[in-house]
Chains A and B, each alone.
Chain A
């Protein structure tokens, strides 16, 4: 975790990129602290890979500055551009990019040969790097004789062996199967903890982001939407997009209603949601009084007693009950919204029934429609 006093190792300032006059990256700025994992998260086409490639020096920005440890490595205005090979960064690609004509050993030695490291040192460092990624014993294999997971470990060893200032990972796990992906996620996290290298990790997978990130930068349409720790971004999203991209988002359409107790969001003319941060919620309401209340499944609790709904309670119809063994999955429809809730088995619920759900008022997020 970066401490408040942690040093900034890389700063990106106003980075923009156009392809054929179309803006794919619009004034992106963020900072990366030493020894942290920063995850660039977003749907495909949001500009996260482009950002990474601009940092790596594989492409040139149309505007903006990138600084690596006080040094400006690219500045579009003054034309400063340090080529990729002079930046001392490491990179792991989605398709691994292992060279089919080299052996495992030759792969890892390549960046050291380039740096004119002595032969003994090369041997020692290659051995250590392969040990770290768990490929010891496969030195003489051709890279194409490795499995997918091994190829990715090889790409990792190649990128780490020269102790780069920053390791850039461009969706490195998405070419692996689900099980291997989960395992590699944890391995990567351990590796980073062990080596202390700064990682910038690009992914579109929110689980990956939540598992790995010290901080997440959410991107959309070439812009940064929000930067923060995974918990911050999850609990306190500053847009509906962020709310729905991280975790499950259940949304109800309603209207703003002023009543004797102040104000609330009224759903279906029946249910009233009163949330604590009234002032804050107020400004998010459309001019015509309509608003969207967004919740997460864990913010809803089944009310076991039978009574008419009170404030911060809604009714939902149980469409289906799926037995997942240790718990039930309920397919629900309430307030014109279909959603899914997992509940413990102590709740006896049957399909076709109506149930009462209590909403945690502290967790309600409101956005204009």
Chain B
């Protein structure tokens, strides 16, 4: 009875005026933030006028974009490279199942390593893989020379490999493991008792139960994969391999920029992603999540005998290859006289470190990075909480619309999101002060991180029983007091995670802010990009090391707080 009334109460017929007005305001704000760039992209894709003239309607951009073989191959490469999501979800499912259900030595270490990987910026990892697998001076290639094997990181397979190990699998595992942890193991044990073997249980019970979650994770990784940019630019451009995001960047870099083509290409992907999001919402709304009941979840880790050492070894080899080897190589590389040249006499030196650290540009970049991270995460936490709470706990009007709109920023490549806001800042006088300002960057990053931020807080609110909140109200606590004393402490582990993710997202971001920022607001990530594009690999790798240290620190802190609140 209680369950029935709670489930049903979210769809009450009767609405107060305040819920309607509140809902409309929220819809307006979210729509303004998310639809502005979308409209900007669509409108500009239909611009047939040359760059210096006024907007004129025409399909020239679309025609040119999709008659260019380079664009078509870029689309082809994009899909080819995103096969990694399929490979990734299989590996991640097995990994997260092993980590959550089986007693494996050092499994906490493995999981923590994946957390680090999740926070690491991808550009420095690409740099260190260049050190290892450059066809001319790569360290591994050097070692492999006697047996005649040679890898080339500047290849499709190279890009595929870096993404699979450093982003796709860690992200998917990090997202899947908590879901598995919340899934009552007695569901699986019941299947066992019915006579189903491990594989049968996996296939007939676990996979269907995890269906919605698997789909979410797959989609999240796919979308992030579609807009992946840094590695593709660094490794693909030299060999003429372009993907969707780098092709757009390429089109913008032309003189004069080919905006209509870039926008047309982007609109196509927007359409695809929008359909995916729509399909996703339909799919998840008709299926009950088996994962939301946090109560009475019990499971004992399985003992599997000696095989556990073998599995443990495999997992550790995986995290070493995906995280620690590139990190170590990056540090070594940053200490070299000449990046990658191990064969010269006396190759190591700390000279570059002292040069970079002593540079006032560096110091201001550190300041900017921290300000950007703290600002975005702080303001973001507040806003995402507000929206998440409104979506889950109130009956405001337009909730399903907002639920769809918040995903839009993920459908827009960062570079175009930045471009849209650059245009907005420059064209409307009201927004002019935002150009080149710290606040402007924060605004763009807030929008960029909105999907994950709101999604996580929403999940958190769903998972704490509504009764815990209601009992406070009945005791006489006013709404805000109750929110502060009961609700916030209960979801604090999630809040810490959201803060960490948004902070790191802001600190490592390159594509979104590269156009909006100026020299005054330049953070570490942009400085690193500039160094590496200018061929100063030494300085770039040093900044890569520093950004990685940020990532490790953030992973450590969020892990520690997460563990403490779990205990």
Residues on A close to B: CB < 8 A? 18-21, 24, 44-46, 48-50, 53, 56-60, 62, 83-91, 93-95, 97-101, 110-111, 114-115, 155, 158-159, 162, 168, 170-171, 204
- Which residues of B477-505 have CB atoms within 8 Å of chain A's CB atoms? 477-479, 481-482, 485-486, 489-490, 492
CB <8 Å contact, B475 and A90: yes
Q: Residue A97 contacts which of B467, B476, B477, B479 (CB distance < 8 angstroms)?
A: B467
Chain B residue nearest to A25 in the complex (CB): B5
Q: Give every chain A residue within 8 A of B486 (Cβ-Cβ).
A: 99
Interface mask (B454-471 → A, CB under 8 Å = 1, otherwise 0): 000000000001011011
Q: Residue A114 contacts which of B2, B476, B492 (CB distance < 8 angstroms)?
A: B476
Q: Give every chain A residue within 8 A of B2 (Cβ-Cβ).
A: 49, 93-94, 170-171
Q: Name the distance in Å between B491's Cβ and chain A's nearest Cβ.
A: 10
Q: Give every chain A residue within 8 A of B307 (Cβ-Cβ).
A: none
Contacts A/B (CB < 8 Å), 26 sampled: A19-B9, A20-B8, A20-B11, A21-B13, A45-B1, A45-B4, A49-B2, A49-B5, A53-B5, A56-B474, A57-B474, A58-B470, A85-B475, A85-B477, A87-B474, A90-B475, A93-B2, A93-B470, A93-B471, A99-B486, A99-B490, A110-B477, A159-B471, A159-B475, A162-B476, A171-B1
CB <8 Å contact, A111 and B473: no
- The 7 A-B pairs at the shortest CB distance, nearest first, are namely A111-B475, A19-B8, A97-B467, A91-B474, A84-B473, A97-B471, A101-B489
Q: Residue B467 contacts which of A57, A88, A93, A162 (CB distance < 8 angstroms)?
A: A93
Bound together, the chains give a CA A90 to CA B501 distance in angstroms of 40
* B12 interfacial contact with A, CB 8 Å: yes
* B472 interfacial contact with A, CB 8 Å: yes
Q: Residue A158 contacts which of B5, B9, B475, B478 (CB distance < 8 angstroms)?
A: B475
Q: Give every chain A residue within 8 A of B470 (Cβ-Cβ).
A: 56, 58, 84, 91, 93, 97
Kindly state the interface size class of chain B when it binds its partner: 20 to 34
| A-B pairs with beta carbons under 8 A, tally | 111
* B14 interfacial contact with A, CB 8 Å: yes
Bound together, the chains give a CA A198 to CA B268 distance in angstroms of 65
CB <8 Å contact, B490 and A100: yes
* B295 interfacial contact with A, CB 8 Å: yes
Bound together, the chains give a CA A115 to CA B13 distance in angstroms of 34
Bound together, the chains give a CA A44 to CA B5 distance in angstroms of 11
Bound together, the chains give a CA A94 to CA B1 distance in angstroms of 11
Chain A residue nearest to B10 in the complex (CB): A19
Q: Give every chain A residue within 8 A of B492 (Cβ-Cβ).
A: 101
Among B471, B472, B481, residue most surrounded by chain A Cβ atoms (within 10 Å): B471
Bound together, the chains give a CA A308 to CA B383 distance in angstroms of 85
Q: Name the distance in Å between A64's Cβ and chain B's nearest Cβ.
A: 12
CB <8 Å contact, B465 and A97: yes
Bound together, the chains give a CA A159 to CA B473 distance in angstroms of 11
CB <8 Å contact, B13 and A18: yes
Chain B residue nearest to A42 in the complex (CB): B1
Bound together, the chains give a CA A60 to CA B485 distance in angstroms of 25
CB <8 Å contact, A84 and B5: no
Q: Give every chain B residue within 8 A of A86 (Cβ-Cβ).
A: 476
Q: Residue B475 contacts which of A95, A98, A110 (CB distance < 8 angstroms)?
A: A110
Q: Name the distance in Å between A203's Cβ and chain B's nearest Cβ.
A: 11
Q: Give every chain B residue within 8 A of A59 (Cβ-Cβ).
A: 5, 9, 12
CB <8 Å contact, B485 and A110: yes
Chain B residue nearest to A204 in the complex (CB): B1
Chain B residue nearest to A89 in the complex (CB): B474
Using known A-B contacts A48-B1, A97-B465, determine if residue A114 contacts B13 with beta carbons closer than 8 Å: no
CB <8 Å contact, A99 and B1: no
CB <8 Å contact, B474 and A62: no
Using known A-B contacts A49-B1, A95-B467, A99-B490, determine if residue A90 contacts B474 with beta carbons closer than 8 Å: yes
Q: Residue A111 contacts which of B8, B9, B465, B477 (CB distance < 8 angstroms)?
A: B477
Q: Give every chain B residue within 8 A of A158 (Cβ-Cβ).
A: 471, 475
Q: Give every chain A residue within 8 A of B14 (Cβ-Cβ).
A: 18, 60, 62
Q: Residue A91 contacts which of B11, B471, B478, B479 (CB distance < 8 angstroms)?
A: B471
Q: Name the distance in Å between B318's Cβ and chain A's nearest Cβ.
A: 35
Bound together, the chains give a CA A168 to CA B14 distance in angstroms of 25
Bound together, the chains give a CA A86 to CA B473 distance in angstroms of 9
CB <8 Å contact, B1 and A95: no
Bound together, the chains give a CA A58 to CA B477 distance in angstroms of 13
Q: Residue B474 contacts which of A21, A84, A204 (CB distance < 8 angstroms)?
A: A84
Q: Beyond the given A90-B474, A110-B477, could you list 14 further A-B residue pairs with CB under 8 A, ordered by the A residue number? A: A18-B13, A18-B14, A45-B4, A53-B5, A59-B12, A85-B477, A85-B479, A94-B2, A99-B472, A99-B486, A111-B476, A155-B471, A158-B471, A162-B475
Q: Give every chain B residue within 8 A of A100 (Cβ-Cβ).
A: 490
Q: Give every chain B residue within 8 A of A84 (Cβ-Cβ).
A: 470, 473-474
CB <8 Å contact, A62 and B13: yes
Bound together, the chains give a CA A86 to CA B475 distance in angstroms of 9
Bound together, the chains give a CA A85 to CA B480 distance in angstroms of 12
Q: Residue B12 contacts which of A19, A88, A101 (CB distance < 8 angstroms)?
A: A19
CB <8 Å contact, A46 and B1: yes
Q: Name the distance in Å between B469's Cβ and chain A's nearest Cβ.
A: 9
